[in-house]
Amino acid sequence: MNLIANKNISVFAAVLVTAFIATGAIAQVTSTRSSGRSSSTPAEAAQAEARIRQISDDSGRYFKQGLYNLQDNRRSQARDDFNKSVEVFLMSGVNVQRNNKLRECYNQLIETVYRMEFPSSQRPVNIRGLSAICGWEIKSELADSIASIVAKGGVANSPANIASTGSATNGDADELEDVVGFSDQSFEASPLDELSKLVLNEDETNVDTPELRQEYEVIRIAGNNRSLGFSFQMHRLVQQYLNYYRGRGRRTMEVGLYRSGFFMTMARRIFREEGVPENVAWLGQVESAWKPTAKSWAAAAGLWQFIPGTGNRYGLRRTAYIDERQSFEKATRASARYLKFLANRYGGNWELAMAGYNCGEGNVDRAIRRAGSRNFWAAYPYLPRETRNYVPNILATIIIANNPHRYGFGHVRPAPRLQYDRVRVPSSTTLGLIAQASNTSVQYLRYLNPELRSNVTPPEPYVVRIPAGRANNVVAILRNGRAVDDNNGRLASTSKGETWTNISRKTGVSVADLKAANPGMMTPKGRVYVPVKGNGIAATSYSRPAGNSITPTLTVKGIVVVKAKSGETVSKLAERFGVDAGDVAKLNGLIPTSKLHGGREVRIPAK
Question: Given pLDDT bands bounded at 50, 70 and 90, which one contains residue 17?
Answer: very low
Nearest one of 167, 174, 146 to 81, comparing CA atoms = 146
86/99 Cα distance (integer angstroms) = 16
The answer to whether 21 and 80 are in contact (CB under 8 A) is no
Q: Which residues contact 35 (CB under 8 A, 6 or more apart)?
A: none
Q: Is the pLDDT of residue 577 over 50?
A: yes
Specify the higher pLDDT residue, 555 or 271: 271
Chain centroid to CA 54:
29
For β-strands 188-189 and 294-295, DSSP reports them as: parallel
For residue 18, what is the enclosing H or E element?
A: strand 13-22
Nearest one of 416, 363, 136, 395 to 279, comparing CA atoms = 395
Nearest one of 290, 286, 288, 269 to 278, comparing CA atoms = 269
The string of pLDDT tens digits covering residues 116-157 is: 766 666 678 889 889 999 999 999 889 888 888 887 654 333
Q: Is the pLDDT of residue 284 over 90?
A: yes
The lowest-confidence range among 185-194, 277-286, 564-573 is: 185-194
492/506 Cα distance (integer angstroms) = 10
Q: Give the residue-averaged pLDDT of 243-271.
A: 92
* DSSP per-residue string spanning 348-362: T-HHHHHHHHHH-HH
Q: Given this model, what pLDDT does residue 508 score?
A: 67
Calculate what percentage of the chain has a pLDDT beyond 70: 75
Q: Give the residue-averaged pLDDT of 29-40.
A: 38
Q: How many CB atoms lie within 10 A of CB 355?
A: 28
The lowest-confidence range among 89-98, 302-311, 491-500, 592-601 is: 89-98
Cross-strand bridge partners of residue 20 = 17, 18
For residue 497, the number of C-alpha atoms closer than 13 Å in the C-beta half-sphere is: 13
* DSSP per-residue string spanning 88-112: HHHTS-S-GGGSHHHHHHHHHHHHH
Specify the higher pLDDT residue, 45 or 147: 147
Q: Read off the pTM.
A: 0.56
Helix axes 329-345, 250-273, angle to 10 degrees: 80
Looking at every residue in the chain, the average pLDDT score rounds to 76
Q: Given this model, what pLDDT does residue 228 score?
A: 92
The answer to whether 422 and 268 are in contact (CB under 8 A) is no
The answer to whether 175 and 150 are in contact (CB under 8 A) is no
362/595 Cα distance (integer angstroms) = 65
Q: Which residues contact 382 (CB under 8 A, 6 or more apart)?
A: 366, 367, 370, 371
Q: Give the residue-averaged pLDDT of 518-533.
A: 73
Q: Given this model, what pLDDT does residue 279 score?
A: 95
Q: Which of 286-295, 316-325, 346-355 has the highest mean pLDDT?
A: 346-355
Question: Can the peptide bond before residue 25 be classed as cis, meaning omega within 30 degrees of 0?
Answer: no
429/102 Cα distance (integer angstroms) = 47
45/412 Cα distance (integer angstroms) = 27
Beta strands in 431-500 (DSSP E): 462-467, 489-493
Q: Given this model, what pLDDT does residue 538 score?
A: 26
Q: Give the residue-averaged pLDDT of 228-236.
A: 93
The string of pLDDT tens digits covering residues 371-405 is: 999 999 999 999 988 899 899 999 999 999 999 99
366/369 Cα distance (integer angstroms) = 5
Q: Given this model, what pLDDT does residue 159 score?
A: 27
Q: What is the dihedral of CA 442, 447, 451, 452, to 10 degrees?
A: 10
Beta strands in 504-581 (DSSP E): 527-531, 554-556, 559-563
Question: Given pLDDT bands bounded at 50, 70 and 90, which one contains residue 40?
Answer: low
Q: Is 12 helix (H, G, I), strand (E, B) or coil?
A: strand
Active-site annotation holder among 117, 204, 254, 287:
287
Q: Is 79 helix (H, G, I), strand (E, B) or coil?
A: helix
The string of pLDDT tens digits covering residues 427-450 is: 888 888 888 888 888 888 988 999
Q: Given this model, what pLDDT does residue 307 score?
A: 85
The lowest-confidence range among 38-42, 147-151, 302-306, 507-511 is: 38-42
**Catalytic (active site) residue 287:** yes
Q: Is the pLDDT of residue 336 over 60?
A: yes
Q: Give the residue-averaged pLDDT of 550-570.
A: 65
Q: Is the pLDDT of residue 330 over 70?
A: yes
Helix axes 236-246, 250-273, angle to 10 degrees: 120
Specify the higher pLDDT residue, 544 or 193: 193
Q: Given this model, what pLDDT does residue 187 score?
A: 57
Q: Which residues contact 147 (CB under 8 A, 6 or more apart)?
A: 124, 125, 127
Q: Given this model, what pLDDT does residue 177 score?
A: 29
Q: Give pairs for 501-505: CB < 8 Å, separation 24+.
A: 502/556, 502/557, 503/528, 503/530
Q: Is the pLDDT of residue 246 over 70?
A: yes
Calculate what percentage of the chain has a pLDDT beyond 90: 29
